[in-house]
A and B are shown apart, each in its own frame.
Chain A
Amino acid sequence: MEILMAFVVGILFMSATYLMLSRSVVRIILGTTILSHGVHLLLLTMGGLKGGAAPLVGENASSYTDPLPQALILTAIVIAFGVTALFLVVGYRSYKVLGTDNMEKLRGNEGND
């Protein structure tokens, strides 16, 4: 399973990278959300999968899955949400103010002379 997940994560990273390299701001933001999915899955995978019952005491199981990566992922998910929300707003604000969502047109080299 971990091996499969490694490949899934790889594919998620791949498409996230591709999206982040594209021109459109919307795609870039989508890329970051997909990136965070990949990251979270990877973190979970690295903790070891299916190591036992869900980490709830009283599951009368002999072993539990590692709860620590789950807690870390939870933190990471919430942070990623905050960042995505902000990024989204920045994206649309900048589209309104600058009039384009094309990153190629957003070069701007102030002070480069």
Chain B
Amino acid sequence: MIQTVVYIALICVAVAMITLLYRVIKGPTLPDRIVALDALGVNIVAMVALVCIALDTNAFLEVILLFGILAFIGTVAFSKYLEKGVIIENDRNS
């Protein structure tokens, strides 16, 4: 039962990803794309979790946490870029 559900869920997430990809490509603004990318990252995390169940292995559970971290870093970088154009400031107090 679980396997079937997982496969259904996988397809759902994949469909969601394609939809998000449409947003990434279409835009129309940059923030739109980044929002979609961020959501895409979240979907990937979900997918990894589902694949873990599907393969019945805990080998990839590290990936989940790691990807959570990285998606965050990526989003921060993008938003800083959008806002300031430079993502690492030399000295923000000056």
Contact = CB atoms under 8 A, between A and B. Distances in A.
Contacts, number: 10
Interface in A45-63: 53-54, 56, 59
Interface string B24-64: 00000000000000000000000000000001010110000
Contacts of A59: 57, 59
A20 to B, nearest CB: 21
A53 B55 CA distance: 8
Contacts of B60: 54
Contacts of B55: 53-54
Contacts of B57: 53-54, 59
A72 to B, nearest CB: 19
A56 B59 CA distance: 8
Nearest to A50: B55
Contacts of A56: 59
A56 B57 CA distance: 10
Contacts of A54: 55, 57, 59-60
Interface in A29-59: 53-54, 56, 59
A98 to B, nearest CB: 22
Nearest to B59: A54
A53 B58 CA distance: 11
Contacts of A53: 55, 57, 59
Given A53-B55, A54-B59, 8 more contacts: A53-B57, A53-B59, A54-B55, A54-B57, A54-B60, A56-B59, A59-B57, A59-B59
Interface of B: 55, 57, 59-60
A-B pairs, 4 with minimum CB distance: A54-B59, A56-B59, A54-B57, A59-B57
6 contacts: A53-B57, A53-B59, A54-B55, A56-B59, A59-B57, A59-B59
